[in-house]
Structure 1
């Protein structure tokens, strides 16, 4: 039986990928500093302990864009890293929501519970959409396009006037400023 590769997939273990993690129903969860901090600390942990190479990132209110690969020579499995990152951040952010204070606590938990009810893989809550829309970056032009797209997101939303002003993005690193998460620059 011949299997055709999925249009969005992590088919090349040596590849560099553009991925998007989206909260179910595009809920604006990352409007609280403590939820953003969970995501930032989780990225740092995956870089240090799981073999993630983070080349670019931007955390928006309902989603995150990343350019990632597996560290070499660790031979880390990128699918496993993504699974663990999403599972951990989901559990931690839901704990934070439950612990409060969160003015939208009941509403958010109800939405996560509803999403879980539609997915046999989840028991109580589903935080992230399952698909990551992984796209392998095969050309310099496509890589540059995705890098610009990631860094321009906060400008498109009108949050900042310059990409490097946004704290939750690698645009700071690419502008020579210290960022929140260590990155591996794209050549």
Structure 2
């Protein structure tokens, strides 16, 4: 049983992923150096010329995916979008039951609002301050996550505390909306409200008895 994770993780688990080329450390170091010297936007513009489709999906701040997309092209002569379309998650390696829990949108958004307020009450600002004092760089992918990057902007004086809260709530709602869109595209997902425990148990029992 697998619980949680984004739709992309589940797709990779169930369908596999295209056979990507191994990392070329010399090329990766060269691209990282370019990002330091000329900025992430420079690399993003380079990707846009190579693979406009991938450049639409990958933001300049997502340096890991940005560099990997350029790497794949440099190493194979084909864009990462080409590889992904060719694979297209066609083959399914496992027989599985896919259950997705959902809430009506207004309830989901209310939960998000309350969760963000609780995160601040539980010490989100202090947590980020501690991580920065420990030497974690703001450029790290983990420090660019929703919540962390907004608090960093607050600590740098770019936002007020209320603006940071507003942006975290907004971006979390957008993230939730994107995830729901992903799940709706997946075939054979069964949707339940969290309260429908007996129906969920019944569906699992029937699947295991097949």
TM-score (norm 1): 0.24
Which protein is richer in strand relative to its size? 1
Q: Which structure carries more relative contact order (alpha carbon 8 Å, separation 6+)?
A: 1
Which protein is richer in helix relative to its size? 2
Look at both structures and tell me which one has the larger radius of gyration over its CA atoms: 2
TM-score (norm 2): 0.22
